[in-house]
Chain A
Amino acid sequence: MATSFTSSISMQPRFSQATTTRFSLQKPVPVFKTNLSFTLRPRSMPARLAISCAAKQETVEKVSEIVKKQLSLSQDQKVTAGTKFTDLGADSLDTVEIVMGLEEEFGITMAEERAKEIATVQQAAELIEELVLEKTA
């Protein structure tokens, strides 16, 4: 199972823009399931493989830092792109504080509806890059 997953990912060119290769990452898991021939369960999914072609690793790391800071997590706490905020114990007030922290860090403004839909580090990173691109365009 794992090998077929890996081979399908490696076909995605690393340099392609997020707009062309975002096959499922911004949508919740059920859509992801329909694209692939087997069921993925969060704890067995190598999240970092899944995200390498979307948001930059640098953005993901900055987001992780801010999340850890807001939730007062130790530096040892493993936070990857696929980590859900709720799995780290974030409630809705934490999420808006994280959003504010991200807005301050990246100099952007997120519309509340979109911000509240962010569930993972990956989703936050993608939205940030999208907004930063819009800003500099």
Chain B
Amino acid sequence: MQRSFSIELPSLVPLQLPSRMETHLWYILPNEVKSTSLLKQYSQFLSPSEKDKVVQMKGNKLKKNALLARILVRTTIARYQTNYVVDPRSLMFKKNLYGKPEVDWQNQKNCNNPPLHFNLSHTDSLIACGVTVHVPVGIDVEDKERKIKHNVLSLAKRFYSTDEVSFLSTIPDLKVQRKQFIKLWTLKEAYVKALGKGFSAAPFNTFTIHLKAGTEGGYNLCKTSEVNSLEETKKCNGEWKFAVLELADSHYAAICIEDDLASGGAPMKVIVRKTIPFVEDELISESKLL
């Protein structure tokens, strides 16, 4: 029986659910997970189809990252089951109409399942999972030093909105311009992922994300729609909240959650933890909000 493996690993420390307007962000740094026996134990938690997908990845590094992504999602969600202990292995997932992954609670005995939402993002060197309660969430992480092979403004002109291109064009320092491009990318990706309706629901050039004037790090979403080819109307509303922060000094992480109007316009609170599942969890007390 596989049971002997779960006895070897310590149980996950249970946690309180995030409050409304709060996002919990968990991340793994693959370079910190070196033990092959630990990786082997992690693989015991995956479903057959997840194992298949890991095998499909080309190369050991990608296989390892795919495995870590799944163990991160499973253990993160399992931590929040406060009524009884949930085996991460027992969690089931499904996709919404548009392909966005979500938890399938139907196999869980407890009917009072927390309305947990999650979203995953990974890069070569960091894998992150965001968790919220009641509201959809989207996250995206990117390496700050990520190589961009094309000219940044060409990419922006091709894919971003006109206002965003204007914003990027006014940045004289090319290094800063590139960083802002990447930050904007993560924000836009996070929005599309939070929306959960697939890429075609929100093409990148149909919305602008920009800093709210006069506030500390608040971001605004404005949707542009063409009334006719000469006129564009912009609708900016507070339906979505954004946050961008730096993780591990190396990555930008953007989070987008649907606004709960009861929050009264308060900024999103983000609690960041670094983890090596079953080995150690570290609360990152200073998450630099950008």
Contact = CB atoms under 8 A, between A and B. Distances in A.
A56 interface: no
Interface string A69-101: 110100001100001100111011100110011
A110 to B, nearest CB: 10
B105 interface: no
Interface range on chain B: under 10, 10 to 19, 20 to 34, or 35 or more?
Answer: 20 to 34
A77 B158 CA distance: 29
Interface of A: 41-43, 69-70, 72, 77-78, 83-84, 87-89, 91-93, 96-97, 100-101, 112-113, 116-117
A99 B9 CA distance: 44
Contacts of B204: 112
Contact of A96 (B52, B56, B146, B159): B159
Contacts of A84: 56
Interface of B: 52, 55-59, 61-62, 65, 122-124, 140, 142, 146-150, 154-155, 158-159, 185, 189, 199-200, 203-205
Contact of A113 (B61, B124, B200): B200
B199 A100 contact: no
Contact of A70 (B57, B58, B122, B149): B149
Contacts of B159: 96, 112
A28 to B, nearest CB: 10
A42 B56 contact: yes
A113 B52 contact: no
B148 A97 contact: yes
Nearest to A70: B149
27 contacts: A41-B52, A43-B56, A69-B149, A72-B147, A78-B58, A87-B56, A87-B57, A88-B58, A88-B62, A89-B57, A89-B58, A89-B61, A89-B65, A89-B124, A91-B122, A92-B189, A93-B148, A96-B155, A97-B150, A97-B155, A100-B150, A100-B158, A112-B205, A113-B199, A113-B203, A116-B199, A117-B199
Contacts of B203: 112-113
B58 A93 contact: no
Contacts of B65: 89
Contacts of B122: 91
Given A112-B159, A112-B204, A89 B149 contact: no
A126 B203 CA distance: 22
A100 B154 contact: yes
A100 B153 CA distance: 13
Contacts of B57: 87, 89
B199 A112 contact: yes
Contacts of A92: 140, 189
Nearest to B159: A96
A88 B52 CA distance: 15
Nearest to B185: A93
